[in-house]
Amino acid sequence: HFHKGTYVTGIEPGNCSVLGRAWNRKHGTLQYIEPGEVREFNMEIGVLDGVDEMREFERKVKRGLAK
């Protein structure tokens, strides 16, 4: 499927973090959206151009998760 230069990204709604539902359930952070309930979400999309930008972004994410 995945060859160099052929990447696809899908964006889907979810009710858990990237750590998964089991992790969120264990830590009491799994959220539920009831039938008919409305929630508003904001999303920002950007492009990282090159290895340097990717490494800098990775450093920022790690600092944010370390809080």
13-32 pLDDT, tens per residue? 777 888 888 999 999 999 88
pLDDT of 67 higher than 60: no
Residue 37's domain comprises 1-67
Q: How far is CA 51 from CA 15, 33, 35, 36, in A?
A: 31, 38, 43, 43
d(CA 52, CA 58): 10
Give the total number of structural domains in the chain: 1
pTM score above 0.75: no
Instruction: Match 């039938």 to its residue by tokens.
Output: 35
